[in-house]
Amino acid sequence: MKIRTGDPEMAREINRSLILNILREQDLLSRADITRALDLSKVTVSTIVSNLIQDELVEERGAGDSLESGGRKPIMLSLNSSKKYVIGVDIGTTSTAAATADLKGKHLQVTRRQIGDNLSVDRVLTQVQELIEQAIHKSKIDRAHILALGVSAAGIVNSVKGYIHFSPDFGWKDVDIKSLLEKKTGFPVVVDNCTRTMTLGEQWYGRIRDARNVLYVNVGYGIGSALILNKHIYSNHSEFGHSFITKQKIRCHCGKYGCLEAVASGNAIESQANELLGDKVDKRITAKMLATIARDGDRTARGIFQNAGRYLGRAISIATNLFNPNTIVIGGGVALAGELLLDPLVQEFDKQTMDIIRKDTRIELSSLGIDAGVSGAVALALNHFVFKSHLVNEVVL
C-alpha cells in the first residue's frame, strides 16, 4: 500500500484516516499491528497515534504485562469512546429523531418527536435544535465534547455544500440547511439525502457490512433509492420513486403521472386506505394502522399492500436487470408492514427479473427498522468529521 506523493500534508491526513478506520474495523491493535497492516513506518504510526491520543480520539488499553517468553505485552490501542461524541439527526415529515453516539458509533440516547403540520424551514429546524438539546441533556455528556452533527434529509441534497435544492416532501427549495443548523446549534454539520444516509446506516450497523453491490429502496412517505457499488455508496442523486410504472392517470407530487411513488409510497398507500376504508374508522388511517387491519383479515387492506408490493417488485426488477446487485434492502417506515408488502414484491420481482440475475440476488427487509435514518446520520457525522473515509480513496493499492 502506497500513498500518493507530492503533498506531505495530504499524505499525513490519509495515514491518519487509515489508522482511525482500521481501529474502527478491528479495535484493540498495537502500534506494531497497525504498522504491519498498513505497511507504514514505525515512526509514522507512532507520530500519528501520539497525535490521536492527544486529540482524545484514541486511547491506550492494557498495562503491558509480561509475556511468558519474556518481554512485555504491547500496549493496545482503541478508539476513545468516553471522550468524544457526535449527534445524528433524521428529519422526517411526520417525526424527527436525534441520537448521541460515541466514536465507535454506539448510540447513547435516541430521542424522537412529532414534527406537526407546520413544515416551514424555520419551524422544522427550530424543532431539530430543541430535539438535539434534549438528546444532549438525556445523554449527560459535556456539550464541549461533541464533535459534529450529521443530518439525514429528504430531497435533492448537495452533500458537499450541505444544500437542499428541492425537497418535494417538505415543499422546500434552495435551503442552505448546513449553514442554518450550524448557526442554531454551534456544531459543524454534514448533510446528505435520507436514502443515501439510511444506506450508510445499513452498511455500518445492518446485515450488509460486507456486501459489495447493494440496491437500497426506501419506502416511506415517498420512495427513494441508493446504490452501493464495490462497497462504496454512489454519490449521485437518483429519483427511483419517479420512475414511470403505470398507465393509470394518477398524478404524482412531482407533477407527472404514473410514477412509482404515486402508487406505492406510504403517502399513496394511506390515501388509498382512507378512500376505501375511511368510513370504517373515526380517524385518518396510517400505513401502520392499515397493516394491523390487514393482519386482522381485511381483504381490502391486504389488497392495498399487494398492489403497492407488485408495483415495487416491478420497478425493482427493472433496476436489478440494469445493475445486477447482490443484495436488495427494503427500508423505510412502510417496510415495517413486513410480509404484507414483501411477499407480493418478491412474487412480482421473480416474475419480471431475468433468471440468471434473480437467482443470485437476495431481497431482505432493513434490519434497522425506524432507526436506519438516525443510525445513518450518526455514521455520516463520524465518517465525515472523524474517520474521513473519503480520504482512503486517495490510497493506491
| Section 313-323 average pLDDT | 96
Other Cβ atoms less than 10 A from the Cβ of 280: the count is: 12
Spatial separation of the C-alpha atoms in residues 181 and 190, rounded to whole Å: 10
* Residue 65 binned pLDDT confidence (cut-offs 50, 70, 90): low
* Residue 396 binned pLDDT confidence (cut-offs 50, 70, 90): very low
Instruction: Render pLDDT for 147-189 as a digit per residue (tens, 0 to 9).
Output: 999 999 998 999 999 999 988 888 899 999 999 999 999 999 9
Instruction: Render pLDDT for 12-59 as a digit per residue (tens, 0 to 9).
Output: 999 999 999 999 999 899 999 999 999 999 999 999 999 999 999 999
Domains defined for the chain, CATH in brackets: 2-80 (1.10.10.10), 85-200+373-387 (3.30.420.40), 209-366 (3.30.420.40)
Percent of the chain at pLDDT exceeding 70: 94
- In this prediction, residue 45 carries a pLDDT of 95
* Residue 1 binned pLDDT confidence (cut-offs 50, 70, 90): very low
Other Cβ atoms less than 10 A from the Cβ of 295: the count is: 14
> Strand locations in the chain, DSSP E?
2-3, 29-30, 58-61, 76-79, 85-91, 95-102, 107-114, 146-153, 156-158, 163-167, 172-175, 189-193, 214-219, 223-229, 232-233, 327-331, 362-365, 395-396
**DSSP code for 15:** H
Measured in whole angstroms, how far is the alpha carbon of residue 301 from the centre of its chain? 30
87 near 98, Cβ under 8 Å?
yes
| Section 105-111 average pLDDT | 91
